[in-house]
Structure 1
Amino acid sequence: MAGVNKVILLGRLGQDPEVRTLPSGGKVVNFSIATSENYTNKNGEKVEQTEWHRIELWDNLAGIAEQYLKKGDMAYVEGKIRTEKWTDQNGQERYTQKIRGTAMQLVGGRGNAVEENESASSYGNSNSGGYAPKPTPVPTPPPIEMAGNSGDDLPF
């Protein structure tokens, strides 16, 4: 059976991105995003519930996050849930869930969409409009006219 593992988040960074450079030269960036939900409880009180999400970006996205993101910024992230198993100091097995980002959009200042497979060199290029591909306009087809039919001679 096939499944879908896709997460879409829009929230504020709770910390500046933490950058690690790997021996291979690649980069990994980690940060947290807070998302909030407002509702009224049974007692009529307004409640704000905040969830924190751990985000991990690799390579090109990591470089862009390192360069442009900071604590408090609003960001849109698409990714996949990943669960990591590890052993703590006491020998207990622990599990950590994080979101491995595959696309990111800076919300507010720049508004450029970034995909994992895009080249970081074109980010911020004023001619390209950022990573978001410009939509191709779809031409509207001309109205269909029935030659010789005025509508009066229709059989129904």
Structure 2
Amino acid sequence: MTRAAGLSTGSEERATVAHMPEVSVQDGTTQAFGFRRRAALLWKRMREAPYVVRRRFARPHPAPVIVLGNQKSGTTVIAALLAESAGCAVTLDIFFRFRRPVLARLLTGRDSLDRFIRRHPYWFSHPIIKEPSLTFFHDDLRRLFPSARFVFIVRDPRDNIRSILNRLRLPG
């Protein structure tokens, strides 16, 4: 067995790796071949395991509170405050987890929101859902979630644009 620097789980534990060849590097030290890459992949899978199980058995919430509005208008703060005061989970920024073409397919009509929700029910399973990009799909959301309650965040356009420019580090 090779003893190598391991994963950080909040303590200074070390992982033991069996059957992993050792290679010598230029400075004369010995490392387990590919250990960091393999350990990182294993650690990622271990952290994701509960989510994989939840995703597999998730069902869309029958009556979520859906927070909509322009990006940088305060939707995250309002959704977080709602979740905190209600003591429940919140889904934030669904499309951040996917590549750009997913949203583009929805916006151009090449995919439907209904199919997207059936393929990814986990992201719609929490009592509060915040996704500014879903603002364009309000009618579809109302049809798919007839018992949902909607919160539309409206911010002064000048402040909203200033916030976007600040995020992009642009003067103006």
Higher helix share: 2
Q: Same fold (TM over 0.5)?
A: no
TM-score with structure 2 setting the length: 0.20
If asked which structure has higher relative contact order (CA below 8 Å, sep 6+), I would say 2
Higher strand share: 1
